[in-house]
Structure 1
Amino acid sequence: MYNTLLTSLDNGIFTITINRPDKLNALNKEVMEDLNRVIDEVEQTADIKAVIITGSGQKGFVAGADISEFVGLSNDEGKTLAKKGQDIFFKIENCSKPVVGAVNGFALGGGCELAMACHFRIAAENAKFGQPEVNLGLIPGYGGTQRLVHLIGKGRALELLMTGNMVDAQTALQYGLVNHVVPQDELLNKAKAILQVIVGKAPVAISHCIAAANA
């Protein structure tokens, strides 16, 4: 059903795996379209109670946007691309069912923005986070500037945004960017254990918790 995603459903928990390991799961137009469609599937499928988003392989959650697709874009085309990404990540952030980012490696640029669009994040010990767009003369285009400030505070966010530096999983935990850090082989089990507790609660209450937190 999806060219760039692997999906599986287990006891109400729907795992979405971005599957471009040879590109460290970089976001291209096809991945973005698949993410847009899969969130519609999540909302429309009663058997899906909660969602995990992760990346294929052990090195990268999502190592950024596929820069090759930026070459030759006009200003208007760049704005259109950014708006489409913003809309997709807004849809993830406002999904009525809980969405957990299971960050299994590099979460850089658009990958960090995708992780931040999830309702909360769990990181493997080897995970690294960053918004290196400034190194290309750009700023995060998919809402990363706003979400990073919201999650870790203005000072820390601006330092990361303006230096382009990465932080490791333990620093991300200290900053409040992630909720838990676990060995990589325990990452999905940790996410599923938390979600099993959540899906045992009233779905209407859960959806209202999400909506209220996003208000």
Structure 2
Amino acid sequence: MIAATPAATPAATPVDTPLGAPVEAVPAPAYRGDLAEDALLLAAFTAAGEEQLATLPVKRERDTAEQDLAQRVLTACRAARRGFLVRHAEAVYDVLTDGRTRLVRLPDLVFAAADRFPGLTPTRAAMAAEDGVIQAEKDGLEADQALFCHAVLNSPVAGRHLIDAMLAPTPRAQELLPAFRDTGRIELDSVLVERRGDAAHVTFRNAHCLNAEDNRLIADLETAVDLVLLDDRVRVGVLRGGEVDHPAYAGRRVFSAGINLKDLRNGDISFMEFLLGRELGYINKMYRGLLTAPEHGAWAERTVQKPWVGAVDAFAIGGGMQLLLVLDHVIAEEDAYFSLPAAEEGIVPGLGNLRLSRLTGARTARQVLLGGRRIAMSDPEARLVCDEVVPATAMDDAVERAVAALSAPAVAANRRMLGLVEEPLELFRGYLAEFALVQVERSYSDDVLAKVERRWQRSQGRR
């Protein structure tokens, strides 16, 4: 760990604050371009900022002047981190990955940065202190994680290596793989994976919330996708929602209601594991394949890809519709609909902005993303997003036909080549670099916080 030395610690200078009392503040670091020296300057500056914040009450108990001071300190520290990363992002990444000889998953990478370069990202202890705190009452330390992720992904060298790291199988999936190969069935907390013939059926079972996505479901889905891609007996993956508890859909399957907005309000939607992790994790694995041989060969020799079928019962909202944009064959029941309610929710719908216009054209994409348009299966545009519309009673047969068609040996190779043309890796990397900053800013914005609070209050009133 880099330790500060007296020579590297700038002298403190008193300044006036909105509280009307002098507060000891360290001048903004004047970086010189040397990694070790600049790391010491960053550590000293951010440590002074943390000391200032420690003198204040927690956010929910601050008055206006105290909150103004806290925001000024947070903003100054983020500017210092941004300046450091502009100069040293690739060098920092090389230190954390031993010269890119190790694949380090995103959460481990971000916390390793906190340990190796004090002040660069929040520590585990700092993040744990915000656990159990509703989103509106957090200081938004995830913004500092987003700054780091943006800088890494913005580098063609470091960004591509991180994408590789996130395409590797998870330890949990590797542990469960022998049992799945043996029995053809793994039951996770919110996902069921079953092998049936040439297909592995992945069923969402977040029944209490209309199969909405939360941290648990994202983790389970990545495990499930890994198992499907690792099992040699599986040729095709199938995604479908299970039956839900909601009275309006009792006994019916529902594909997905998108992000769990109650969890977002309660501060339980993680930036690393959910907002960024799902895009780099299971969705990207479905689209680009699982990295199984990271050290040699061309891309086709390094990854395992398989085609995917989606069976949409009832609706695919938000994150649910985003999934459809990477699937190879989508079947929807007649009364289903799709939507990406970005304007209503106030956040960015993952890679929907990148992928939707490729299927529907720019004008329809704007109607959906900016105007909140729903696509019903009776709309002509529905056939731009799905391949078949069938009665609910015909869904199972339609899925079996799609599995049979996509099981042909040449399908995986051709979908790989389509992906190279449709969404080059550099386009994906550049989009995600900007997405990291924009999404975390939106998830803490006043309008989003107000919307999720109103929804939560309405839900409480119905109890």
Give the TM-score taking structure 2 as reference length: 0.43
Deviates more, 1:178-187 or 1:163-172: 163-172
Residue 104 of structure 1 corresponds to 313
2:278 to 85, 103, 119: 85
Residue 116 of structure 1 corresponds to 325
Equivalent runs, 1:36-185 vs 2, <5 Å: 36-57=222-243, 58=252, 60-71=254-265, 73=267, 78=271, 81-87=274-280, 88-95=282-289, 96-140=305-349, 142-171=350-379, 174-185=382-393
Q: Secondary structure at the match of 2:389?
A: strand
Q: 1:117 & 1:213 partners in 2: Cα distance?
A: 11
Give the aligned residue type for 2:339: G
Q: 2:327 & 2:226 partners in 1: Cα distance?
A: 15
Q: Secondary structure at the match of 2:335?
A: coil
What do you get for the CA RMSD once the two structures are aligned?
1.9
Q: 2:314 & 2:380 partners in 1: Cα distance?
A: 13
- TM-superposition CA deviations, 1:63-83 (whole Å, max 9, x none): 111112222659xx5476321
Gaps of 5+ in 2: 1-186, 244-251, 290-304, 421-463
Using the TM superposition, give the Cα deviation of residue 59 of structure 1 relative to its aligned residue in structure 2, in angstroms.
5.2
1:212 corresponds to 2:406: no
Matched residue count: 209
Q: Is the 8 A contact 1:173 1:181 kept in 2?
A: no
With CA pairs under 8 Å and 6+ residues apart, which has the higher RCO, 1 or 2?
1
Equivalent runs, 1:184-195 vs 2, <5 Å: 184-195=392-403
Q: 1:112 & 1:81 partners in 2: Cα distance?
A: 16
Q: Is the 8 A contact 1:169 1:181 kept in 2?
A: yes
2:217 to 31, 51, 55: 31
Higher strand proportion (structure 1 or 2) = 1
Using the TM superposition, give the Cα deviation of residue 136 of structure 1 relative to its aligned residue in structure 2, in angstroms.
2.3
Identity score, percent: 22
Give the TM-score taking structure 1 as reference length: 0.89
Q: Secondary structure at the match of 2:325?
A: helix
Q: 1:103 & 1:179 partners in 2: Cα distance?
A: 11
Q: 1:173 & 1:193 partners in 2: Cα distance?
A: 23
- TM-superposition CA deviations, 1:88-140 (whole Å, max 9, x none): 21111224111011111110011111222222211111211001121122221
Q: 1:23 & 1:72 partners in 2: Cα distance?
A: 15
Structure 1 residues 80 and 198, CA gap change in structure 2 (3 angstroms)? closer
Q: Which has the larger radius of gyration?
A: 2
Structure 1 residues 94 and 171, CA gap change in structure 2 (3 angstroms)? farther
Q: Secondary structure at the match of 2:348?
A: coil
Q: 1:126 & 1:4 partners in 2: Cα distance?
A: 25
1:198 corresponds to 2:419: no
Q: 1:156 & 1:31 partners in 2: Cα distance?
A: 30
Q: Secondary structure at the match of 1:176?
A: helix
Q: 1:38 & 1:79 partners in 2: Cα distance?
A: 19
Q: 1:175 & 1:206 partners in 2: Cα distance?
A: 21
Gaps of 5+ in 1: none
Q: Is the 8 A contact 1:59 1:106 kept in 2?
A: no
Give the 4+ runs in structure 1 shifted more than 4 A: 172-175
Using the TM superposition, give the Cα deviation of residue 28 of structure 1 relative to its aligned residue in structure 2, in angstroms.
0.7
Higher helix proportion (structure 1 or 2) = 2
Q: Secondary structure at the match of 1:101?
A: strand
Q: Is the 8 A contact 2:279 2:351 kept in 1?
A: yes
Using the TM superposition, give the Cα deviation of residue 7 of structure 1 relative to its aligned residue in structure 2, in angstroms.
2.2
